[in-house]
Chains A and B, each alone.
Chain A
Amino acid sequence: MKHHRPHPARGQSQFDEQALIPQLAMPLSDTVQQNESNLRGILSGASDAVFRTIRANGSHPLLVVYVDGLVDSKQLEEAVLQPCLQDETPRTPGTAENALDHVAGLIAVGDIKRAKTFGHLVHALLNGSAAVIVHGCSEALLANLPGWETRAIEEASSESGIRGPREGFTESLRTNTSMIRRRLRTPLLKMELVTLGRISRTNIVITYVDGVVDRTVLQEAKRRISAMQVDMVLDSHYVEDFIEDVSWSPFPQVLNTERPDVVAASLFEGKVGILVDGSPHTLIVPMTLWSGLQSSEDYYERSVFSSPIRWLRYFLLFVAVTITPTYIALTTFHPEMLPTNLLLNFAAAREPSPVPTAIEALVMDLLFEGLREAGVRLPRNVGPAVSIVGGLVLGQAAVDAGIVSAPVVIVVAASGVASFTIPRYSFSFSFRLLRFPVLLLASVLGLYGITVSFLAILIHQVNLESFGVPYMSPVAPWSPGRWRDVILPSARRSSMVDTAIPDVPSGSTAVHPNERGDHE
């Protein structure tokens, strides 16, 4: 299967449902037998499709069709099958419309739709509806009874915290939207449904708070999503891939989170959330560098604690990228910059090493990344084995054998630990990746190389935009009043109080975030 995530620029996919199954465009006929044979033709080979014909009172038959496993079978029985079976009223030969209305009246399901074509009917079946086809009617009733098995709501494993709400998104779209709704109980919270993917027909919800959302971002998000031409959307990243501004940048321009509270807070800040059915990761646009470094816990803990921790995180981010290159630069290019005693300790540790420091560090860094990758993939009960092999064999034994010098192991471990402090796992990729070019430049140019690579990274960062919002904002470009949240989590709290949203939805309440933020 090569058509994983085809890019729109690379042309349309070969897949065309309508061409492969011409019956989909056909309208329903008014005989149950005819409709049944057509449906069986369309759903041939689908062992999970169930056809149930009901002949109550000797009247005209009803046909109930559903996909087993997608509908709630208990509810189907109680709300559809039993009322139809127990229907005592004789079927007076009347108009088809009457018959359909009568059956619709029997079905105790809230969400009932009608389908005229087989295409509509089949897609509803595949979305968890049960179809009731009444003899003599060229329309089918669609009772929405989704009841597939889903994972229970669990703690967000990639963004766990000590304090604050623990629930995380699941793979079920409706569960996820409800979790956001429960946090923002306002009719201003909009959830627009889009279906994407010619095969997967994945439901995608674009959510925002009307009146707070940045209109230009919202329109741009909608435009980019509607321009997507894909066959399958298996995860929210498929969407991210299409809508991000610069795909080759090491920095993600779309934030993803597993936590409904983070989404709610972001929506409140005027951002747009994109939920994808089947993925517990919700996308949030626009993203800035700072939002990637903020943990939701920063806002759930007293700012006296959380502010220094945020500063520590910024510092460690710097450490993660620079400590190994700095070690290489200082020991091989500028040893005069080190304190004498430190230099002597480094020199003592370095004495037995057979390979250049840069190669040592590169190999250890690669092995560290390998360990991390192995740890992510391994089954839980094999994990400790990897950490023993990695920690003891690679670290201790390599040093004892004199193959790798101890300070290199220390700096590589320090940069690894520092990179773990980045609260968003996918954002830490950027910095893990950037370590390597910085390391290479440092090993050929010394501190000058580190400076050059930092300038390059900064130039890229200030040029980067996410949905028209500069990546480094509010620091670059400087926007007074809003930058405080970068340093002090409490600043956001006070700004949240200031930001008033109108209670009643009205068309003209849209406030641009730039006007909104400046009145502190």
Chain B
Amino acid sequence: MMKRSGGLILAIAAGLCLSGCWDQTELNDRAIVVGSGLDWRDRAPSIIVTEQIVLPQGVSAKSALSQNSIAVSASGTGVLNAMNKIQSYLSRKNFISHRRVFFVGEAMAKHGLLNVLDEMTRNPDVRLRSDAFVVRDATAQDVLRLRSPLEKIPSLGAVRSRHLLGAATGTSFLDFLIAAADETDFATLPVVRVRQEGLILGQREEDILQFIGRAVFSKDLRLIDYLTVNEATYRLWVLGVLKSTTLTVPLPRNSGEMAVDVRRFRSKVMVNWTTGIPNFDIRLMAAGSVIENPTTLDLKKQTIVKKVEQAMGATIARRTWKMIHKVQTRDHADIFQFGHDVLRRYPGRWNTVKKDWPAIFSAANVTVHCDIALLTTGVTGRSPHLNPQQFDQSGW
């Protein structure tokens, strides 16, 4: 027994040492890629891949503004072709499993993503749960060159600011793929741009990354249109995935604007297709609390609060309707999953209409209603700096 197991252990040990089957790579032999970018240029080789690689020594530095990453670019006929070229520039093994975000330059997005997406999904080293952004008016290279003032990993800055604006993170690439593969959905990606000299560092100013909305792609994955941040927010609300946001809503008769912190979003899309075109009735619901009231309205009065709620609901509904109308008329792209609503409501009819869905979607009647409940008016009722005579007790 002892002799046999001893021999077995010896054989295993010999096998481990002699077979060279050693798969380990030390952390300081890896170049950790945290973000990458795709750019397109008109002359061949036309795909430019940029990789942002962290410098571990810089990460341990106290300030996030110290140089803690480098960007390496290479062009190629395809993504992997370019990445292999990047590897030839690097003294360490290119390690892309921690690539949490990638940026697509505007030129690339307009050229179309059909030919570059395969590497992003097939390569087993790639993390599918990552975020993708379109860079407006610039290249991905420009973004990866930026330093993030607060993040140790610069390219994660965009991911985090988008999260703070109320969207789920880590899934935008996956959502993009799902929508692209869908029969009627149109794919979208969030958009960033490089804001010139937005970061003030003492006497110096540096460029900074800004999150500015959503890009709409055609079915062949070409960029066709942009939505603003507000429009993107309303779209997420319609889709029912908005988590939290702050809305500044103007009140009627120039009585001013009011800022509301909104939570508990719900949305309900009801389809009614009895006439020639479908009717979509969208109900948006949310609860909010007032965080800024620059008007003279007396929020201690319940009647005023009710009026504000109604006015806000009407404004949000109008803005949402405008956003949907814009997408219907300009892009003819169903980015609201209305097709799915129709499929659920009229499964029998769906097979005959899905071929013409972009046209039907563009022509569809959309109505939007919005109910906002103001749960609190902040920590004060009336603005404490106003004297009682100044309050507007009646509203409009």
Q: Which residues of A contact B (CB under 8 A)?
A: 248, 331-333, 335-336, 340-341, 343-351, 353, 356-358, 443-446
Contacts and interface: CB of A to CB of B under 8 A. Distances in A.
A347 B27 contact: yes
Interface stretch (B55-63, B298-306, B337-345): B55-63
Contacts of A331: 26-27
Nearest to A357: B26
Given A344-B56, A444-B16, A335 B30 contact: yes
Contacts of B27: 331-332, 335, 343, 346-347, 350, 357
Identify which of A343, A353, A443 gathers the most chain B CB atoms within 10 Å of its CB: A343
Interface of B: 2, 16, 22-28, 30, 32, 34, 54, 56-57, 59-60, 95, 97-98, 100, 125, 127, 152-153, 156
Given A248-B2, A333-B24, A443-B24, A347 B97 contact: no
Contacts of A353: 28
Given A348-B56, A348-B60, A351-B56, A336 B127 contact: yes
Nearest to A333: B24
B24 A347 contact: no
Given A335-B95, A336-B98, A336-B125, A348 B22 contact: no
Contact of A344 (B23, B26, B28, B152): B152
Contacts of A348: 56-57, 59-60
Contacts of B28: 347, 350-351, 353
Contacts of A445: 16
B153 A340 contact: yes
B60 A345 contact: yes
Given A333-B24, A340-B98, A343-B27, 13 more contacts: A333-B23, A335-B95, A340-B156, A344-B59, A344-B152, A344-B153, A345-B60, A347-B54, A348-B56, A348-B59, A351-B56, A351-B57, A445-B16
Contacts of A446: 23-24
Contacts of B2: 248
Nearest to A444: B16
B285 to A, nearest CB: 35
A331 B98 CA distance: 13
A357 B24 CA distance: 10
Identify which of A248, A346, A347 gathers the most chain B CB atoms within 10 Å of its CB: A347
A120 to B, nearest CB: 43
A281 to B, nearest CB: 28
30 contacts: A331-B26, A331-B27, A332-B24, A332-B25, A332-B27, A333-B24, A335-B98, A336-B125, A336-B127, A340-B98, A340-B100, A343-B32, A343-B98, A344-B54, A345-B59, A345-B60, A347-B27, A347-B32, A347-B54, A347-B59, A348-B56, A350-B27, A350-B56, A353-B28, A356-B24, A356-B26, A443-B24, A444-B16, A444-B22, A446-B23
B190 to A, nearest CB: 19
A116 B24 CA distance: 77
Contacts of B54: 344, 347
Contact of A340 (B16, B24, B25, B34): B34
Contacts of B16: 444-445
B29 to A, nearest CB: 9
Identify which of B23, B27, B57, B156 gathers the most chain A CB atoms within 10 Å of its CB: B27
A332 B25 CA distance: 5
Contacts of B23: 333, 446
Contacts of B125: 336
Contacts of B60: 345, 348-349
Contact of B56 (A333, A347, A356, A444): A347
A354 to B, nearest CB: 10
Nearest to B34: A340
Contacts of A351: 28, 56-57
A332 B26 contact: yes
A445 B17 CA distance: 11
A350 B30 CA distance: 11
A351 B125 CA distance: 23
A464 to B, nearest CB: 14
B305 to A, nearest CB: 43
A347 B69 CA distance: 13
Contacts of B24: 332-333, 356, 358, 443-444, 446
A61 B128 CA distance: 104
Contacts of A335: 27, 30, 32, 95, 97-98
A345 B22 CA distance: 25
A446 B27 CA distance: 14
Contacts of B30: 335, 347
Identify which of B28, B32, B127, B152 gathers the most chain A CB atoms within 10 Å of its CB: B28
Contacts of B34: 340
A333 B16 CA distance: 15
Contacts of A340: 34, 98, 100, 153, 156
A399 to B, nearest CB: 12
Contact of A350 (B22, B26, B100, B153): B26
Contacts of B22: 444
A332 B26 CA distance: 5
Contacts of B56: 344, 347-348, 350-351
B102 to A, nearest CB: 14
A345 B34 CA distance: 14
Identify which of A341, A344, A356, A446 gathers the most chain B CB atoms within 10 Å of its CB: A344
A333 B27 CA distance: 9
Nearest to B124: A336
A307 B95 CA distance: 44
The 8 lowest CB-CB distance pairs between A and B, nearest first, are A336-B97, A348-B60, A332-B24, A347-B56, A348-B56, A350-B27, A347-B27, A348-B59
B380 to A, nearest CB: 39
A343 B27 CA distance: 9
Nearest to A337: B97
B282 to A, nearest CB: 38
A446 B25 CA distance: 11
A333 B156 CA distance: 24
A269 B108 CA distance: 76
A344 B28 CA distance: 11
Contacts of B153: 340-341, 344
Contacts of B100: 340
A340 B153 CA distance: 9
